[in-house]
Amino acid sequence: MIKIKHIKRIFEGMLMGGANVIPGVSGGTMALITGIYERLIHSINTIPLSAPFFLLKGDYREFGDRIKSVDHNFLIPLIIGILIGTLSLARFMEYLLDTVPAITYSFFFGLILAGLGVIYKYIDEVDIRIVIWGIFGFLFAFFLVGLPKLQTEPNLFIIFICGMAAIISMILPGLSGAFILIFLQQYDFMLNALNDLNIPVIVTFITGGAVGLFTFSKLLEYLLNKYESAIMALLFGLMVGGLRAPGEEVIDINPPLYQFIVPAIIGAVLVIVIEYRYVSPK
């Protein structure tokens, strides 16, 4: 039976999935804004990768016990939402970037800028160590965005690597999975693959994503448990530096000022409303 909490979780997943196809916006940022980030990382790490081996051996009791440890009520509706958000927004995003790129990137700029306030709340105290981590994150993202895009021809190995990089970006606020694909010159290719349901490419991408997800999430959870403020400061810096991506796109287009200010305000207000609705005071 579908409950209100499941519908809420699907909506949160749709926000994450939609963010994943937006250059400059991270699914991890949406998870932070909606207050589910730490639970997401922990839930991923409770998935028993050894469970299928017990199923193959016919040890159904052990298989069942392992599966019971998974946070089903959280992960299943969230994954459904992520799939809906990714598939539905992919075609729409292609249309927006072709027809109103300045307004679209300005909206993203406001979205990310307001999201900084969400991350800042996770930083308990500001000292020199925290400042250094923030500056490092800023410089890393700022110069990464400014690097010349790589010239890589699409093939299954490159798509596998793209899947790994994109999924790590998805769970790491401040690093956009879509931007990583743009940097690797695979964004348009993957959008077309999604819209055309190119199964071999999609399966290869998902496989790379699964490998990246299960290897990186454990490290991330450990770091969050041990050094939460420092990691959040790093993510804060990554998001500030990442603003260069939508910012440069708008500057290159050079739209009328209102086409930047109005969409940016709408994006910022949207984040504030979502945070107010979903995030409880820490």
164-191 per-position pLDDT tens digit: 887 877 777 666 677 677 767 777 788 7
Q: Which string of b and e fits 63-99 if b means at least 16 CB within 10 Å?
A: beebeeebeeebbebbebbbebbbeebbeebbebbee
> pLDDT tens across 225-272, in order?
888 888 889 888 888 887 887 888 889 899 999 989 999 999 888 878
**Residues 50-106: pLDDT tens digits?**
666 666 667 667 667 767 777 788 888 888 998 888 877 777 877 887 888 899 889
For the segment 7-35, the average pLDDT, to the nearest whole number, is: 78
Q: Assess whether pLDDT exceeds 80 at residue 208.
A: yes
State yes or no: pLDDT of 197 exceeds 70: yes
Long-range contacts of 87-96 (CB under 8 A, 24+ apart): 87/17, 87/194, 88/14, 88/18, 89/17, 89/18, 89/21, 89/22, 90/21, 90/191, 90/194, 90/195, 91/195, 93/21, 93/22, 93/191, 94/191, 94/195
The reported pLDDT for the residue numbered 151 is 61
Of the candidates 213, 277, 250, 274, which has an alpha carbon nearest to the alpha carbon of residue 18? Answer: 274
Residue matched to tokens 């539905």: 88
Nearest one of 246, 239, 241, 238 to 115, comparing CA atoms: 239
The pLDDT mean for the chain works out to: 80
State both tokens at 127.
């000292």
Any idea where the domains of the chain sit in the sequence?
Answer: 4-278
- Please tell me the pTM assigned to this model: 0.70
Residue 82 to residue 173: CA distance in whole angstroms: 16
Give residue 1's pLDDT: 54
